[in-house]
């Protein structure tokens, strides 16, 4: 990674995702780093990434990174479990601080588990990659990881099927979560940044004894640690600004973003074709 300098302190944090799931990371960034500017890119025209080939996912991710680099940014967060998983062995950012969601989520989950049995739910590409299992094995080989693909969750969340009482989402969640619940895990990683939007449903099905770990929120905490270590925290005193770019409808983004941010969008929203 290239050496950074103090002139970059007030540059923005760049965040990208296949759609709107990365807003769960933005929400946490706004909470813990309120003075930072954030530039978010959601590739809403090409969602979902989780059912694509490895080659396509890496190409999309490279294009997302290239778009963010058109702006003054000091760090990039891949707030996408699929990209973070597929890119583990293929670094997509090497010239500035970077984090995905895998390592931060595993670190938090391993610290939280008492039974040493952790569940991980994610897109098919994330689960197929084995990224979470490999990440855990490197630092905590004594901990068992139980994976489960949940291919319909992204579609349900992006289309607003997020209410606690929604019968469709609950039925799908019960089917997906049954094998993990049977394994007796005490920690469950929400390995796609869309999933925290339905965490109340997931938590209700898993039960009070299971701690949920949001990969997006843990990535945001990791970003704060990284910026602190590189002396790149913003020097501004006023509240930072969020700027959003999407590759599809801005109106649809603004309408659905509140499910992720738990409030209306504050900041400018633009459509971009890269």
* Catalytic center residues: 80, 192
Instruction: Quote the crossing angle between the two packed helices 199-206 and 167-182, to the nearest 10°.
Output: 40
Report the sign of the C-alpha dihedral through residues 257, 263, 264, 265, in that order: negative
Phi first, then psi, for residue 85 (nearest 5°) are -70, -50
Rounded CA-CA distance 29/1 in Å is: 23
Rounded CA-CA distance 195/203 in Å is: 11
Rounded CA-CA distance 105/136 in Å is: 10
Residue 193 CA: distances (Å) to CA of 65, 184, 232, 240? 18, 23, 25, 22
User: Cα angle vertex 48, ends 63, 240, to 5°?
Assistant: 60
Rounded CA-CA distance 29/101 in Å is: 14
Contacts of 133 (CB under 8 A, 6+ apart): 145, 147
Is residue 63 classed as helix, strand or coil in its secondary structure? helix
Residue of 110, 115, 168 lying closest to 139 (CA atoms): 110
């Amino acid at each position: 990674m290239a050496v950074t300098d103090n002139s970059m302190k007030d540059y923005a944090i760049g965040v990208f995702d296949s759609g709107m799931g990365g807003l769960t990371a933005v929400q946490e960034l706004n909470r813990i780093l309120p003075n930072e500017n954030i530039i978010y890119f959601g590739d809403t025209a090409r969602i979902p990434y989780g059912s694509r080939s490895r080659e396509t996912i890496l190409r999309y991710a490279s294009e997302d990174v290239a778009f963010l680099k058109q702006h003054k940014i000091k760090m990039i967060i891949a707030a996408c479990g699929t990209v973070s998983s597929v890119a583990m062995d293929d670094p997509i950012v090497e010239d500035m601080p970077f984090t995905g969601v895998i390592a931060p989520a595993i670190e938090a989950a391993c610290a939280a588990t008492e039974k040493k049995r952790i569940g991980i739910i994610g897109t098919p590409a994330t689960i197929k990659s084995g990224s979470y299992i490999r990440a855990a094995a490197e630092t905590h080989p004594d901990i068992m990881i139980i994976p489960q693909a949940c291919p319909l969750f992204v579609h349900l969340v992006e289309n607003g099927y997020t209410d606690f009482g929604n019968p469709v989402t609950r039925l799908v969640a019960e089917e997906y979560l049954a094998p993990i619940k049977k394994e007796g895990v005490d920690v469950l990683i929400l390995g796609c940044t869309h999933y925290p939007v339905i965490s109340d449903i997931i938590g209700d099905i898993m039960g009070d004894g299971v701690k949920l770990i949001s990969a997006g929120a843990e990535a945001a905490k990791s970003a704060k640690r990284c910026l602190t270590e590189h002396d790149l925290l913003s020097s501004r005193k006023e509240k930072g600004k969020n700027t959003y770019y999407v590759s599809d409808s801005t109106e649809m983004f603004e309408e659905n973003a509140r499910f992720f941010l738990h409030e209306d969008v504050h900041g400018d929203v633009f459509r971009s074709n890269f």
